[in-house]
Amino acid sequence: MNKNLPIITIGREKGSGGLAVANVLSQKLDIPLYDKELLAIAAEQSGLSRDIFEEIDEKESFGFFQNALNSVLGSHNSYICNENIFQLQSQTILDISHKGSCIFVGRCADYVLRNNENVLKVFLCAPLANRQKQIAAK
């Protein structure tokens, strides 16, 4: 692992090829890549089931509007659970980032590492037609 390189965060639109770009960078720069495996690491560190992390990871979130609706309906469990899982994932991202250069795909890593000066933040987008084609091919 090359500790002199920055930590790279890759945010992306679904279907824009972000994971493919991250894989190429990881191989060329010889630094580790963290995407879904971050869920397993966070689960192991927290002592919680990986299934909990994966279930929340796969849910579509509507952010503020979902939280507002839950609060009106008196349902705070979803928000609290999501918030706790986010905090555990965030701590895992911070722990890994202290070890040296690496690449994080998604997981709000750009936000989690916002105070780290050694972070290169990339956001990948693509035309809608290309993203639709990419998603349909899976």
Is 33 inside a domain boundary?
yes
Residue type, 1: M
- Give the domain CATH number at 102: 3.40.50.300
Residue 62 is predicted with a pLDDT of: 47
Is 125 inside a domain boundary?
yes
Write out the chain's pLDDT in tens, 138 residues.
556 789 999 999 999 989 999 999 999 999 999 998 999 999 999 988 888 888 887 665 545 445 554 555 555 444 447 788 889 999 999 999 999 999 999 999 999 999 999 999 999 999 999 999 989 998
Give the Cβ contact number of residue 107 at 10 Å. 22
Range of the domain at 57: 7-137
Nearest to 122 by CA among 3, 21, 4: 21
Is 1 inside a domain boundary?
no
Nearest to 1 by CA among 27, 34, 28, 32: 32
**Per the confidence metrics, is the pTM higher than 0.85?**
no
How far is the C-alpha of 11 from the C-alpha of 124, rounded, in Å?
6
Residue 55 is predicted with a pLDDT of: 81
Is 72 inside a domain boundary?
yes
For residue 15, give the H/E element and its range.
none
**Total tally of structural domains belonging to the chain:** 1
Residue 138 is predicted with a pLDDT of: 80
Is 102 inside a domain boundary?
yes
Is 42 inside a domain boundary?
yes
Is 131 inside a domain boundary?
yes
Nearest to 39 by CA among 113, 99, 107, 103: 107
